[in-house]
């Protein structure tokens, strides 16, 4: 629930609070979301899906299935290379200021790279390619990085 508010969504999508507020207003008018107001602050609320909103999510949540099916036909080594390239691309786009929200290992203050090995100092473990996260919940931005 603490992540379902205007402030968090604005930061997550890198857009202004007024823009998120407009989107929330439209979604509420369409009865796709509901607001749960704080008992201690009448201006503060969390956003949740309405019954109609949940139905639409259920109908559309499998939109990536065709992509997953096609990826299933690609050799694992090629998939690993694709993942590595995309991870680096996201990191470089963030570093150059084009993407502001990213939580990959490469931009995290806990990440280190030595002798061709990736390491997470928070988890105190070597990171193999499948361990590299694109959206890490423990992410903390490396100094000079956009979060």
State residue 147's pLDDT score: 53
Q: Please indicate, yes or no, whether residues 28 and 15 belong to a single structural domain of this protein.
A: yes
Q: Which residue in this structure is represented by tokens 């509420």? A: 28
Residue 107 CB-density burial (10 A; 0-12 exposed, 13-18 middle, 19+ buried): buried
Strand partners, 125: 120
Owning domain of residue 41: 6-60
State residue 43's pLDDT score: 84
Q: Please indicate, yes or no, whether residues 71 and 127 belong to a single structural domain of this protein.
A: yes
User: How is the chain split among helix, strand and coil, in percent rounded to 5?
Assistant: 45, 15, 40
State residue 98's pLDDT score: 82
Question: Domain holding 42: CATH number?
Answer: 1.10.10.10
pLDDT, one tens digit for every residue, the chain (147 residues):
577 999 989 888 878 999 999 999 999 999 999 999 888 888 889 999 999 999 999 999 999 999 999 999 999 999 989 988 988 898 888 888 887 767 888 888 999 988 888 999 999 999 988 888 888 888 888 876 555
CA distance 145 to 107: 7
Q: Please indicate, yes or no, whether residues 41 and 92 belong to a single structural domain of this protein.
A: no
Q: Please indicate, yes or no, whether residues 41 and 98 belong to a single structural domain of this protein.
A: no
Q: What is the pLDDT of residues 75-98, one digit of tens each?
A: 999 998 998 898 889 888 888 888
Domain presence at residue 121: yes
CA torsion through residues 104, 105, 106, 109, sign: positive
State residue 133's pLDDT score: 86
Q: Please indicate, yes or no, whether residues 78 and 110 belong to a single structural domain of this protein.
A: yes
Domain presence at residue 1: no
Closest by alpha carbon to 147, among 28, 41, 56, 12?
12
Domain presence at residue 94: yes
Q: Give the number of domains in the chain.
A: 2
CA distance 136 to 141: 11
Domain presence at residue 141: no
Q: What is the pLDDT of residues 105-116, one digit of tens each?
A: 888 899 998 888
Q: Please indicate, yes or no, whether residues 118 and 69 belong to a single structural domain of this protein.
A: yes
Task: Give CA separation, 6 vs 1, 2, 9, 93, in Å.
Answer: 11, 10, 5, 25
């Amino acid at each position: 629930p603490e992540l379902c508010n205007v402030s968090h969504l604005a930061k997550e999508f890198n857009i202004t609070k007024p823009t998120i507020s407009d989107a929330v207003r439209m979604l509420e008018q369409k009865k796709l979301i509901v607001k749960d107001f704080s008992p201690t602050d009448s201006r503060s609320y969390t956003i949740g899906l309405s019954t109609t909103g949940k139905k639409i999510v259920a109908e559309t949540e499998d939109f990536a299935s065709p992509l997953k099916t096609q990826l299933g036909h690609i050799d694992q080594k090629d998939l690993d290379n694709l993942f590595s390239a995309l991870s680096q691309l996201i990191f470089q786009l963030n570093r150059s200021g084009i993407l502001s929200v990213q939580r990959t290992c490469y931009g995290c203050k806990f990440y280190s790279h030595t002798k061709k090995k990736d390491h997470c100092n928070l988890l105190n473990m070597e990171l193999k390619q499948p361990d590299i996260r694109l959206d890490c919940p423990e992410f903390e931005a490396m100094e000079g990085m956009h979060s």
